[in-house]
Structure formats: structure tokens, C-alpha cells
A and B are shown apart, each in its own frame.
Chain A
Amino acid sequence: MGKFLNGNLSKTGRIFYLLAAVLLGLSLLFPWWTLRLEAPQYPEGLSMSVYAYKLAGGKIPSDPDDVDDIYRLNILNHYIGMMEIDEGTFTELTVMPWVVGALALLAAAAALVRRNWLAIVAFLTLGAGGVVGMNRMFHWLNTFGSDLDPKAAIKIDPFVPPVMGQNTLANFKTWSSFGLGGYLVGVAVVLMVVALVLAFRRYRQWDKKSSSVVSQSSS
């Protein structure tokens, strides 16, 4: 096993890790998660996107100086007593870009240094980050859906908006899904896994071959 950890990534594995690093970097430019809402009065829909470092709402196409849909969502949400969606609430947004950047660098470093152990560290860190990230996401969705002001004009049962999929809330239909940024991170994870599997298989073959060489010489 020590030999595996000290072993090197193959050329393909290195390319995959480099690609993963690039994709992680690129993911910062695109929304990771999006929410779209439609109601009879909002046929044009309202939308909100979560980037690694910010929130962004949809805008009225004809109005360049428009505030965004988050502003409008907050006004609508106050009827059911939902807390205000405010970028400042999400400390994750200040940490995430650094974490993602660091992970991209780690993946790139693994590709350059070639060491399997570094690649594994990069993968595990990313995995851990992913788990923490999903946990935070559930936390926030749960908080927004259930921490409702009891004095709100319109009383609704607490709910947890789905991470992915459709939901109905009063006159609103909502669709939530991962955005391009989220999918890029997903692909980066897959690339790393494939690279690691390839490396492990290469190690196993090499290990088999070397052990058979050893047994031949000993016989």
C-alpha cells in the first residue's frame, strides 16, 4: 500500500487531475444551484442563483438598472414570515471561493507532483468539502422553510424545499436544480475518482507483475 501511495499518477491521471483543477476554477464563474419560481401573476418567472461566492437574482430584461428577483422574493416571502434572503447571512459565501480555489490548487499540485498520495488527499478534501457543503445547503433550506415568523399574515406548514426538483407553495411552483457550476464540481469529482481508480489498477497490475517476478526468482 505504501508503494501505491508513493506511486505516480499516469499521464491520463495527471491530465484528469489538471482538468479537475481547471473545472473547479471555472465553477466559480457559474451558479452552483438555481431556483426558479412561477405563479399565475409571474408568468415570466422569478429566479435566484447561488454562486460559490454570491447570490444573484433574475432581472427584468428591458430594465438595465433593475434590482433583482431576490429583492422581489423577499417582499413576497414576508407574507409567510420567511426570513430575508440576504447574502450577508451566508458566511459560507465568503469561505467557499477560497476553499474551492485551494482545492483546485491541490488538484493541480497533485497533477504536477504526480504523487498518488497527494491526489488522494485532494480527492478526500474535496469529498469532505462536498459533504460539508451539502450539509450546509440542507441546513439553509431547512432553516428558510421551517423558521417562519409565527406572526406572519399567511400561515403555512414548515417545509423543506427540495435540493433538486419541483415543489408547490401556495400560488407558486418552484423548480430547483444544480447549476453549471455545481455540475462542473461534480465532473471534477468524477475525473478525480477515475484518475485514482486508474492509478490503483496500474499499481495492482504492477504489484502482480513484480510479485510474480519475485516468485519466479525465488523458485
Chain B
Amino acid sequence: MTEIKSFVQSNLKTIIIAAIALGVGILAALLIAWQFPGGGVGTSAKITDETIDAAVKTYVPPGQHDEYYMFNSGGHSGQVYVIGVPSMRRIRTIPVFSPDSATGYGWSEHSKELMGDYNWGDAHHPGLSETKGDYDGRWLFINDNANSRVARIDLDSFTTQQILGPVPNLYGPHGAAFVTPNTEYFMMASRFSGPVPFGKFAPLESFSEEYFGCMAAVAVDPQDGTMSVGWELLLPPWSFDLSDAGKKVSEGWCFLTCYNSEEAYEVLEVNASQNERDYIVAINWKLCEQAAKDGKYTEIGGAKVIDPRQVPGSVYLVPCAKSPHGVDVSPDGKYFIGAGKLAPVCTVFGFEELTQAIDKQDFQGEAWGLPVVNYEKVRVAEVEVGLGPLHTQFDDKGFAYTTLFVDSQVAKWSLKDFTVVDKVTVHYSPGHLVMAEGDTASPDGKYLVSLNKLAKDKFLPVGPSHPESMQLVDLTSDKMKVIYDAPIDPEPHYGQMIKADKIKPFLVYPKNENKEGAVYSQDKARIERNGTEVTVYMMGFRSRFYPEKIEVNQGDHVTIYYTNTDLDQDITHGLGILFYNMNFEAQPGETVKAQFTADKAGVYPFYCTNFCSALHQEMQGNILVMPR
């Protein structure tokens, strides 16, 4: 102690100088640091070169357009979202299975006919029409997982034009819509099993005997896209999850994944997760098509149903670990890849290997009377991608990209040596991923969008119901980078990203005097009465209605044909009627039919609901309902 004291005393001067020097030094350092904003003193957001790079790559300046359209399913909103990439701006929402008062979908007669008995649907997997394995920009098909339906959106108008279904015998077509390379068909495979046809009763205990899975091949008219049930395939009572069509070397085949090969009917979470391997179902659809032509089917529920056990060569089972989710065919058609879900691997199967095993009858057994091919012979690789692999897409450089739900990552791996080369963390828990034309025969690379199931803290909080999160991942360098976070309403399951110049919609409905109910001039606008049936031939244009006074008697049934005669871009006119729960709109040049029963007496103003002009507020009229 005395030693320290004597040391301090003898070196007092030096110590004081050192302390002063230290103080001056820190002060100088702080002063210098202050000169640099973002240098870490007192700033919250740090603008790095990486941020600037991401901003430049995703910023689409005013007046410019995005490079890609992305069509995302809206899940149980029953809609389809149109999003621009790389800006990630949502451009439009297309109503498909659910009413949309913003467009009058669900009120107009056409949309009511489309929706049928349902006012919701669960839109899962959009599929663009293809020619030679590439998107041709004509139609978008989307399934309704809830009510066994499928819809066609025409991309010349971005509107729903057909809803087919409920498709017979098919309980919940989760595995749809996956289009064949020339849009001959798209396949719909059942997630649930049940007695067929619909309405037939069988106790759950008879699950293995009286319940069936089913796949429908929906035929598409090459001229106008009209969908019809081509034929169906009776399948075991397993849950078919996803599907993909073969292409190039594997054209003529399609593949389905399944879980619950255990045939459990209660607590599936546990009971359907017992087998180490379930199956990828490989289907020779050309052979099935021929079988249907040859009459080798039974008619069930109005569909031609083929029992594959009666058509040898039509269906083979390929063992795949474990409760596999996605099955995706590589761009060259050589591989079909099962994503393990409950196993941390993507299993790569070779199509050539499959056909060889079939030729040599190299089977390891049978399930539900269908041959199970020898796993060891057909498997090309098991790629350890990470936990919870769900879906795979492809780029133009020979790489596959797989979402990892549990790891909350996307893994990039090589189709040449089957090694993982890169991973990127996404937020949080990705389901599907969408890549630029990433499921076609010629993917573009460049952009990957991870459709994440959880957003949590990624956006300003909006209470307990969160948006979903879409993250844009840049693929232009060796290292994948998340460059944009975009919120979206629940909930995109899958999407399709197509080069913008492949789609050329018209902008105004052409004038056509022969269209049912259309009127284009004031002298033709009129009200016709036939007993209690009143038909209004109405036109709307900036900023009036003809006729603007509609006199009816209480109890009359009123049909309105409403033509928007403003044949000018983006001049939409709506028609909302007070207290009658009526609202619809006509796009420029369009004629829309709607009807209602005037069961309430009184005066009911109507008006244009879509702001159209400086005199939009003046665009109004009256329905006068005389009391009975």
C-alpha cells in the first residue's frame, strides 16, 4: 500500500498529464465522430451500401412499370392478387370465389352465376396456361380447396370467366392447379378422402374400404380456355398434397405427393406422421387419357372415373420421406423432387430411373393394389436442405431453391452435384416461393419471392391480426439477399411470376350493339314493362344516367342492363342503390346485368359509386317504388 502511495507521489505529474491527455483525446474523438452522421453516434437508421443497392433494385420510379407480374392466390379471401415485381406493389385484386363490392362481383348476374351457391372459397395454387412448357399469358387457373372448384381468369381482361365445380368425387383439391406443358389439362388432387359420389354415407371406421382419394384431369379448350372434367382417377384414401406436370422428357406424366398413407382418420397430426416414407404418385396421364377414350372407366357422380388398378401402367408409387409436401419437376423434366416436410431432405428422383425400374418391373411391393417402385433405384439424391422443406423452384443456372418452413430459410442447391450452396433467412416460416417463371421449362432466375406465413414484427403493428409477409430475394449475386418486405392480406399460398410483356390486356370493352341489353345512345335507353317484369336498358356516362327516373310498382321484379358508354380508359361507372343492398359497376364499354325485387315502397336514390369526373357527385337518379 505504501508502495503504491510512494509510486503515485513520485509520478504525480506524469499521472495528471496522462489523465488530461486521455480526456482531451476522448473529446477529440467524439467531436470527429459527430462530423459523420450515421457514424454510430446518436443515429437510429444506418444507411449502408447494401440498403442503397436494395433500394435501387426495387425502386420503380413514377411513370415506369414493373418487370414482372406476380399472381398470388389470396387463400381464404377467395381472391387473386396482382403484384408488380420488383416494386412488390399490389396493383389489383381479382375477385374469384368471394364477393367484392368494389367491383360489384357477387351482385352482377354474371358473377352470381359464377359463384353459384358459395360466397367464399379457398384459393391456393394459381397456374398460368402454358405452351411448350412456357407461360403464354392467356389464362390463370386457380383452385378452391374448400368447395372442390376451379376458376379461370382471362388475362385479356383480368376477370374471372368460369368457375367449374364442385368437381365430382373430389374432396378438397389442394393439389391443383398444375398445368401440363401445352395446357391440355391441369390436375386436381384431393386433400381429403370420402365416399363417392358426394352425399354417399359411410362411417369413418370404414375409411380404408369405403373412402377414396381422387384426381381429376380438367381438360382445357385450346381456343377459349373452357374447362371441363376430362376424366378422373380413383385413388387410395390418402391425402394428396401437391402436384406437378412432367415436362420435356417426362411430358405425359404427372406427379402427386401424399401424406397419410397410414389411412388415419383421427388425430392426423400424430397418426398420419408414423410412416417414415409416404409416396409420390407417378401418373402416366397420356395412358389414362387413352383409357378414358377406350371406355375403361366407371361413371361416378357424372365423371368418367378410372380405377388405376384396372389400367396397368397408369399409376406407380414412389416412396418419399416423410409426409412430403411439394413435388416439383426440374426445368429439363429429368427430375421430380419431393420436399420432405417432416424429413430435412429434398429427395431427387430421376424420371429415366423411374421408367427403367418400371421396364424391369423392379418393384419393392404394392400398396392399395398399386406397384411401389424400388426406392434405391429411382432415387438420385437426398439433399440435406434443412428443417421443414416445403417447395422447390428453379433458376436459369441449374440451381434449385427450397423453402424451409421450420428453419425459416430458403436453401439454394445445385442440380448438378446436389449440394447446398447458400441459404438466406426469411421472416418468418415460408410456405411457397415464387420465382421468375420458376416452374416452367425455361426459368428466368433474378427474382425469388418468399411467401411467408408469419409477419410478426416486420411491419407497423395493427393489432392481433397480422398481414402475411412477402419478401423479395435478389438472385443476381452469389449470395441471396432479402431486398424488400411487403405486407399482404391473408393469404398467398402460391404464385406465378410472368414477364410483363407476355400479357397484353385490352383496356376498354369494345362497343357492341348486339350485346345482350346494351344501349349506347339516349334514344335507345328505355324501360320496358311486361306485367310485373320491368327491364331497364340503362346507360351511364360522365356524368349522367339514362334513364335517371325508374318508376316501378311495389313487388315488381326489376332487371337492369347497365352499359357504361364512356369508352375511355379507366372511366368506370358504378351503380349503387340505397337500401336495396344493390351495388355493381360497369367498366368502360361493358354491359352489366343485375336484378332485384322492388319489395319496399318509397323513393330510392341511386348514384355512381366509382368517382368518375368533376361532376361525379351529380351522377345520380331515383327509383320510385309505388306502394301496392
A interface with B by C-beta (< 8 Å): 60, 62-63, 65-67, 71-72, 75-76, 79, 153-154
A75 vs B568: C-alpha distance in the bound complex, in angstroms? 9
In the bound complex, do residue A67 and residue B567 qualify as a contact, i.e. CB atoms below 8 Å apart? Answer: yes
B511 touches A (CB below 8 Å): yes
Closest residue of chain A to B569 (Cβ to Cβ) is A60
Distance in Å: Cβ of A54 to nearest Cβ of chain B: 18
Contact partner of B510 (CB less than 8 A), chosen from A66, A72, A153, is A66
B541 and A75: CB pair below 8 A?
yes
Whether A66 contacts B567 in the complex (CB less than 8 A), given A60-B507, A75-B541, comes out as: yes
Could you tell me the distance in whole angstroms from the C-beta of A191 to the nearest C-beta in chain B? 42
Is the C-beta of B506 less than 8 angstroms from some C-beta in chain A?
Answer: yes
Q: Which residues of B contact A (CB under 8 A)?
A: 504-508, 510-511, 541-542, 566-569, 589, 614-615, 618
A to B CB contacts below 8 Å, 8 in the list: A60-B508, A65-B506, A67-B511, A67-B567, A72-B566, A75-B568, A76-B542, A153-B618
Chain A residues closer than 8 Å to B614, beta-carbon distance: 79, 154
B589 / chain A contacts, CB cutoff of 8 Å: 67
> Does more than half of chain B's interface fall in helix, strand or loop, or is it mixed?
loop
Closest CB in chain A relative to B247 CB, distance in Å = 31
Asked if B507 and A75 make an inter-chain contact with CB atoms under 8 angstroms apart, the answer reads no
A66 to B, closest residue via Cβ:
B508
Additional A-B contact list (19), CB under 8 Å, known A65-B510, A153-B618: A60-B508, A60-B569, A62-B504, A62-B506, A62-B507, A63-B506, A63-B508, A65-B506, A66-B567, A67-B508, A67-B511, A71-B567, A72-B566, A72-B568, A75-B541, A75-B542, A75-B566, A79-B615, A154-B614
Residues of B within 8 A of A153 (CB): 615, 618
Closest-CB distance, B430 to chain A (whole angstroms): 36
Whole-angstrom distance between the Cβ of B63 and the nearest chain A Cβ:
9
Residues of A within 8 A of B510 (CB): 63, 65-67
Q: How far is B111's CA from A20's CA once the two chains are assembled, in angstroms?
A: 61
Q: Which residues of A contact B615 (CB under 8 A)?
A: 79, 153
Q: Closest CB of chain A to B501's CB: distance in Å?
A: 12
| Min C-beta distance of B543 to chain A, whole Å | 8
Q: In the complex, what residues of B have CB within 8 A of residue A76's CB?
A: 542
Q: How far is the CB of A182 from chain B (nearest CB, A)?
A: 28
Q: Is the CB of B567 within 8 A of A62?
A: no
Within the complex, the shortest CB–CB distance from B3 to chain A, in Å, comes to: 87
CB proximity of B291 to chain A, nearest CB, Å: 43
Please measure, in the bound complex, the distance between the C-alpha atom of A157 and the C-alpha atom of B507, giving whole angstroms.
Answer: 35
In chain A, what residue has the closest Cβ to B63? A43
* Chain A nearest Cβ from B492, distance in angstroms: 28
Chain A residues with CB under 8 Å of B507's CB are 60, 62-63
* B508, B511, B614 — most chain A CB neighbours (10 Å): B508
Q: Which of B506, B507, B567, B589 has the most CB of A within 10 A?
A: B567
Residues of the A chain whose Cβ atoms lie less than 8 Å from the Cβ of B566: 72, 75
- Chain A residues lying within 8 Å of B511, measured Cβ to Cβ, are 65, 67
Cα distance A76–B507 in the bound complex, in angstroms: 19
User: Which residues in B have their C-beta under 8 angstroms from that of A66?
Assistant: 508, 510, 567
Please give, as numbers and ranges, the residues of chain B lying within 8 Å of A60 by CB-CB distance.
507-508, 569
* CB–CB A72/B505 < 8 A: no
Nearest residue (CB) in B for A65 is B510
B540 to A: closest C-beta gap in Å: 11
**Smallest beta-carbon distance A190→chain B, Å:** 41
Q: Complex formed: what's the CA distance from A63 to B568 in Å? A: 11
Cα distance, A67 to B513, chains bound together (Å):
12
What separation, in Å, do the CA atoms of A153 and B543 have in the docked complex?
10
Closest A residue to B544 using CB positions = A78
Q: A154 CA to B618 CA in the complex, in Å?
A: 13
Report chain A residues within 8 Å CB of B569.
60
When C-beta atoms are compared, the residue in chain B nearest to A73 turns out to be B568
Residue in B505, B568, B618 whose beta carbon sits within 8 Å of that of A62 in the complex: B505
Residues of A within 8 A of B506 (CB): 62-63, 65
